[in-house]
Amino acid sequence: MKNKQTTDDQISNVLNDYDAGKSGAELLEKYGIYGTTIFELKKKYKNVETDILSELIDLHDENSRLKTMYTDLSLQYRKLKDLLKEDF
C-alpha cells in the first residue's frame, strides 16, 4: 500500500489484522505500511463497519474530484474576468 490509493478492502484488512493481534512488523511485511499509518487509519475509521467504510472512501474520492473541478472552473473564471477587464 505504499504511495498508492488504498481501497476500503485493504483498509479493513489492515484494521482486522491489527485487531487480531498481528504486530507492526508483520503488517509492514504483508501490506507495506508503517505503524503510524496503522494508528492513523485506526483513529480515522474506528467503529466503522465495512459497508460504511466503502461509502466513506467513495465520498472522499468524489469530494476530491469535485474540489479539483471547482478549482479548474475558478481559474477559468478568473482568466475570463481578467481578459474582459483588459478589453474595456
Domain ranges of the chain: 8-87
Question: For the whole model, what pTM was predicted?
Answer: 0.47
pLDDT of residue 78 exceeding 80, the answer is: yes
Q: How big is the CA angle at 65 (ends 64 and 70), to the nearest 5 degrees? A: 95
pLDDT band at 28 (very low <50, low <70, confident <90, very high): confident
- Measure CA 78 to chain center: 29
Is there a contact between 38 and 79 (Cβ–Cβ < 8 Å)? no
Instruction: List the single range of 2-11, 15-24, 41-50, 56-65 with lowest mean pLDDT.
Output: 2-11
- 47 φ/ψ sector (left φ>0, alpha ψ -120 to 50, else beta): left
Of residues 7 and 67, which shows the higher confidence score?
A: 67
Give mean pLDDT, residues 51-61.
81
> Could you give the percent of the chain with pLDDT greater than 70?
84
pLDDT of residue 1 exceeding 50, the answer is: no
